[in-house]
Amino acid sequence: MCQRTDDIWEDSTVIQDVFSLIFRSYVVVCDFSGRNANVFYEAGIAHTLGKYVVPITQNADDIPFDLRHHRFVRYLNNGEGRQRLGKELEERFRFLAEKKVKTNLI
């Protein structure tokens, strides 16, 4: 399930809702388009908690140099681009789900 903190109100502070969602997640998708400082902060929380982070962006230059070693999905912000993004994310999620199953079996 995909959630945004805009859609919930579990705590009186937004950042606590952000932290709670990341904490409960297996995979966190971070859109670095536009170099939003909040996204960098949230990606840092996810990395610290050992979550799988799937970076996405409209422009590769929006991903800071110290995060470029992570594979990211580049997309165009139009109907066709978002449709392709959805398919690529499904593929990544499927891979990570299979990895989780294999890891739990060992």
Every domain of the chain and the residues it spans: 12-105
CA–CA dist 52, 40 (Å, integer)? 14
pLDDT of residue 7: 63
CA–CA dist 59, 23 (Å, integer)? 28
Amino acid 16 reads Q
Q: Pairing mode, if any, of strands 27-31 and 73-74? A: unpaired
Burial profile 50-68: b = 16 or more Cβ within 10 angstroms, e = fewer: ebbbbbbbbeeebbeeebe
CATH classification of 12-105 is 3.40.630, yes or no?
no
pLDDT of residue 101: 81
> From first to last of its 106 residues, what are the pLDDT tens digits of the chain?
665 666 666 667 888 888 999 999 999 999 999 999 999 999 999 999 999 999 999 999 999 888 888 889 999 999 999 999 999 999 999 999 998 887 776 5
